Chains A and B, each alone.
Chain A
Amino acid sequence: MRNNKGLFNNLDWILILIYFLLVSIGLLTIYSVAYNEENASLFSFSEKYGKQFFFVLIALFCGFILFLIDADIYKKFAVPIYFSVIFMLLIVLFMPPINGARSWIGIGPFGVQPAEFAKIASALLLAKYLSSIDLKHQDSKKLFFALSILFLPMGLILLQPDAGTFLVFTSFLFVFYREGVSFDPFFLFFINNLLRLNYKRTWIGVHFIPIAFIFIVLALLALLSNSYSFNLFSYKINGFYLLILSLFLFCTCFGFIFYRFGNKRERKNSIIAVSIAFVLAGLVVSTVHLCFNKLASHQKNRIELFLGIKSDPDGQDYNRNRAMAAVGSGGFYGKGYKNASVSSVKTNHVPESETDFIFCPFAEEWGFLGSAFLLFLFLALIIRIIIIAERQRSSFNRIYAYCVAMILFYHLTINIGMNIGFAPIIGIPLPFFSYGGSSILSFTIMLFLLLKLDSQRMNALS
C-alpha cells in the first residue's frame, strides 16, 4: 500500500460522505422492509438485505479498482467501452423475458442489466465527442452524430422495453444545453431551405431545452384544462377556452408593459415577440387539446389518472394510491423503524417497496423529517456534482460530471415523484438506495469514476 496516500489524494470527501450516507440508509431501509424474523441477520444471504449488502461490497470493491486505474484511460477507451455495452444491449434482446421485458443477462444466479451501464458508457462517449468538437462552428452532421450516441442505446432499450431508462437518457439534453450545443442546425435547415431565408442562428435552437420544458408545462396545463369545465349563464364552458383566454391576457399584459416602458427600438420587436409567443403557446395548447381528444379512451383514462383528474384507487391507480398513502401516513416523525404497516414486504400493499418504491417505507418510517432529509441529501449530492463539474479544467471531465448530475436528477425526480403523485409510474430505481445489484453497481461506478476524474483534474492540462 505504498501509494495509498496517492490513491486517496484529492478525493472529494463531501461526495463520498453523502454516498456512504445514502448507501447505508438504503441498506437499513431494505433491512426494515424485507425483514424476516427467521433470518434476522443483516448478512443472511437468503434475504434481500443480505444480498444487497453483498452487492454493496462488490460495488465498493469495483469502486476501489477504479481508483487504481489512471483516469485518462476512460477518454481513450470511451469508444470500445461504448460499443461493448451496445453489444450487451443487443444480446439482452435475445434473452428470455422477465416480467415482460428482456432487460437481464443472466450470469449464474445473478443477472445484469446492461441498460444501467449504458448510461455510463454513453456519458463517457458523449463527453469525449462533445469535448472534441468546436462548438462555434457546428453543423447538422455533428449535432446528428452527437445525438446518435444517445439514440443508439435509447432505441435498443426501448426494444426491451424499458421506458424508465429510455426517459433517463433524455437527461443528457440538459448537458447539451450547458455545453452550448445549439439545435440551430436543424431549425436553420428547415427555416432557410423551406422559407428561403438566411438566418445565422435562432433563439429557439439555442434555448431549445428550456423551451421544451415550458412546452411540457403548457401541455400539462392544456390537459388539465381539457377535463375542466364550468357553467356560465347556463352555457357549459370548456376549460380550454379559459386557458386560451388567460394566455391571451397574460401576453397582452406583457405586451402592454413592454410597449409602455420599453424604448422605441424595443417596442416594435417586443410586440412582435409577445404576439409570436402567444400564437405559439396557443398552437401548443390547441394541438395537445386536439391530440388528447383523438386518443383512445383507455389512453385518455391513463393520462387523466396520472393527472389526478380521475381516481381509481383499487384499479389502475392502485400502486400510486398505495404508495401515496404510505408516504402520507408517515406524518411528521414517522411510524418508527421497522414499523411500516403499509409498505413493508410482509403486508405487501405497496408493490416493489424494496426497489422502485423504496421511498415509501422510508417516508413511512421516518416521516416528514426523514423524507425531507433524504430529499436534501440527494439535492446536495446533485448540486455538489455540479460544483465539481464547474471546477473541472477539461471539458471531458465537466461533461461527464454534468451527465452524472443530470442522470441522478432524473432518477430523483421520477422516482420520488411517483411516490408522491407527481410523476407517472415508471419503474426506475432510487440511486444508491433501491435494492438491486446492477443499480448499486452502476451508480457506484458512475460516481467513483467521477471522483477519480476529479482527483486528477489538475493533470488535465499536462
Chain B
Amino acid sequence: MNLNNRKYIILFFIVFIGVLYFFRLIHMQLIDVSWKLRAQEISEKRKVIIPARGVIFDRNKNKIVSNITYYNLMFVEKNIVDLDTSSFAKLVNMSVEDVKKRFLEIKKKQGTYYNKNTKKRTSNYLKSRAYPFLIEITASEMATIAPYLNQFKGFYKESTSMRLYPYNNAANILGYIAEVSPQNIKNDPFYKAGYNIGKTGIERYYEKELRGEKGVHYLIKSAQNNAVEPYENGIFDTLATQGASISLGLDIKLQQYSEKLMQNKKGCVVAIEPSSGEILSLVSSPTFDPNLLVGKKNISKNYPALVKNKNKPLYPRPLAAEYPPGSIFKLVQSLIGLQEKVVTPNSSFPCTKSMVGCHNHPKAKSISEAIKYSCNPYYYYLMRKVIHQKENKNLFMDAAIGLEKWVKYMHRFNLGKKIETDIPGLRSGLIPDVRFYNKWYGKNKWKFSTIRSIAIGQGEVKLTPIQMANIAAIIANRGWYYTPHFIKKIENKKIDEKYTTKNQTGINKEYFEPIISGMHKVIYEAGGTARLARIKDISICGKTGTVQNPHGKDHSVFIAFAPKDNPKIAVAVFVENAGFGGTWAAPIASLVIEKYIKGKIEITKKETRVLEANLLINTKNEK
C-alpha cells in the first residue's frame, strides 16, 4: 500500500476548491453585473431635494405669495426603542389612545399586497421606512416639541416648505397648490407621489416656472435606511434651484379694496390697465382666504366646505360666468354701426316703445345721446341697419350676410371667443352666429326681427366679466387692446409675446369720440344713467347696464374707464340681483377707479353705502 500517492489526492481536493472559487470570483466580480446592481439597490439612495416654489409679487413689489417652513414629525418604527407612550402623547398634545390609533392608521393607510408565490397578504408598511406621525406642524409648535425629541428614539423632524399668503386676498387669481393626482404623475415625469402641484389659478398656469428645478443627492444608506454619507463625496449631486419669482400686474391693495367693496354681494370686479392690458384687480365674490387651502391638513378641513357653499366661492365668475351684457353692449353696437356706415354720429331714431320697452326720456338726437339715455328702440333701428344692408333680395339671406359681418366685429372685440390668457378656467361667452341661428330656427328661417333682442345685449348674447372690462379698455384705447393678462415679469425669462402684441378692432379711431362723449354724458349730464359714479377731479366715462333676469331680480352692470383722456384704468363691475346698473355697479366702479388713481377715497359717504349693503339676500340659489 503506497500511502505517498494519497497526498496528491488531498492536494487535488485543495486545488479543486481553489480553482472552483477562483472561477466563481471571476464570474461574480467580472462577468455577472447583477451583483453590482444588487449592491446599488441595497446601499445607494437617491434623495430628491424639492426646491421651494417661486415667490409672487404684485405690480408694486408687494410680496403676495411666499413660502414658510413647516415641520413633519417623522418616525421609523425599527429605530423606536421603548417608547414611553404616555409622555410622548403629552409632548404631541394627544391622548395615549389617539397616539396608538395614529400608528395603526398609518399602517392601514399603506395598504397590502398579495404575494402570488406564498399566497399570503402582507402589508406594504415597512418598519425600516420613515412615515410622518404628524404633518404640517408650525415652527412655533415645533419649538415646544423639538427640545424633547431626542428622548424618543426613532422620531425626528423634517422640514417642508409651504405657501404663505401675506394678504388674505386674490384667492381666485392665485389658486392653490395640493398633492399631485395620479394623472399628473402620468403626464409629467417631474412629479412623484406626494409632490405638490398648482391646482388652479396662477399657481397652475405658471407651474413650470414656479416649481423650480429638483436637486438630487446620492447617498450611501445603511441597513436601517439611514443616510450615512454622500456617495463619492457628492460629485454627482445636483443642487435644487428655487422656482422663478414672478411679478403680476395685479395691484394687491386695489384687489383688497375691491374685494371689500364686493363683500356681501355676488358678482365680479375686473380692472385692467388699458395701456398695457395688465389686470389690476379681478374679484370674484364671495371669495375666501387663500390661506384656507394651504397644506394637506387645511385642504382636507376646508375644501369640502368651500365646495358645498351655496354661493360657490371656488367658481371663477369673472372668467367663467357668462352673463347677458345688457345695455353696455350698446357701446359695441354703436361702434359697429358707425364703422359699417349705416349710421352717422348724428343719426337719430325715435324711441318707439311699441318695439321694445324703454324708460321715459327725450328723443336721442345723436348717437352719444342714445348712449346717455340708453335708448332701446334706437339700437333696434341701428342693429336692423347692420343686419339688413340689402345685399341680397331675399330678406333671410340678407340677414345671414349682415350677421356674419357683425360676428366678425364681435370676434375682433374678443367677444364670443375665449380670451387666451394666463389663467385657467376661462370661458368664451356666446356671440350667436349664422350657424347658431340656422340650427336654432332653420336655414333661411330667421331675419332681424327674429333675433332682435341681441341688439340690446339680451337674448342669446353672453359675455364674461373679463370680456366686459376688455370692452372698456378697447374704448379707452380708442380701438386696440392688449390681451388682458396677469403676468408682468418672470425672473430670467421673457413673458409671452402675445401679451405685448396690440390687437386691433378695425374700428376707425374717430368713431370712438362720439361714443366716449356719450359715456361721459352718462355720468355728468342730467338724464344720464350713472350720476352716482361721479368722482371729484376725475373725468370718468361709463355705461350702465341692467340685465333682465328671468330667475330673480335684475343684475346690475357697469363698465367705465378714467380719466377720459389718457386713461389709466378700465373697469367692469357686475353685481348679481342688484337691480338697476346705476344704483350699485356704477358707484362700486367709481370707488375702484378713485382708489386706484388717487390712492384714497375722499368722500366716504358713497363708500359706506356700498360697504354696508348686503345684496346677497336678493339672490336665490342658482341651479
Chain A interface (Cβ within 8 Å of chain B)? 174, 177-180, 206, 210, 213, 313, 321-322, 324-332, 341-342, 346-349, 363, 367-368, 371-372, 375-376, 379, 382-383, 386, 390, 402, 406, 409, 412-413, 416-417, 420-422
Contact = CB atoms under 8 A, between A and B. Distances in A.
Interface in B41-94: 42-44
A349 B24 contact: no
Contacts of A341: 39, 43-44, 220, 231
Given A324-B38, A386-B11, A420-B25, 11 more contacts: A178-B10, A328-B35, A342-B42, A346-B229, A347-B221, A349-B43, A375-B18, A390-B7, A406-B10, A412-B17, A417-B21
27 contacts: A177-B10, A178-B10, A321-B38, A324-B35, A324-B38, A328-B32, A328-B34, A328-B38, A328-B39, A329-B36, A329-B38, A329-B40, A341-B220, A341-B231, A346-B228, A347-B43, A347-B228, A348-B222, A349-B222, A363-B25, A363-B29, A367-B29, A375-B25, A386-B10, A386-B11, A402-B10, A422-B24
Given A346-B222, A420-B28, A325 B22 contact: no
Contacts of A325: 35, 38-39, 42
Contacts of A375: 18, 21-22, 25
B9 interface: yes
B1 to A, nearest CB: 6
Nearest to B222: A347
A328 B28 contact: yes
A388 to B, nearest CB: 12
Contacts, number: 118
Interface of B: 1, 3, 6-7, 9-11, 13-15, 17-18, 20-22, 24-26, 28-30, 32, 34-36, 38-40, 42-44, 220-224, 228-229, 231
B435 to A, nearest CB: 66
Contacts of A178: 3, 6-7, 10
A30 B220 CA distance: 20
B231 to A, nearest CB: 8
B29 A331 contact: yes
A174 B333 CA distance: 113
B622 to A, nearest CB: 58
A331 B36 contact: yes
B30 A368 contact: yes
A406 B28 CA distance: 27
A409 B14 contact: yes
Contacts of A371: 25, 29
A321 to B, nearest CB: 7
A425 to B, nearest CB: 16
A413 B3 contact: no
A39 B11 CA distance: 44
Contacts of B223: 347-349
A122 B222 CA distance: 42
B14 A379 contact: yes
A83 B131 CA distance: 58
A188 B29 CA distance: 49
Nearest to A382: B14
B69 to A, nearest CB: 30
B222 A322 contact: no
Nearest to A350: B223
A349 B28 contact: no
A427 to B, nearest CB: 18
A177 B1 CA distance: 12
Given A328-B38, A409-B14, A368 B26 contact: yes
Contact of B39 (A329, A368, A383, A421): A329
Contacts of A342: 39, 42-43
Nearest to A348: B223
A420 B34 CA distance: 14
A442 B35 CA distance: 35
Contacts of A177: 6, 9-10
B29 A330 contact: yes
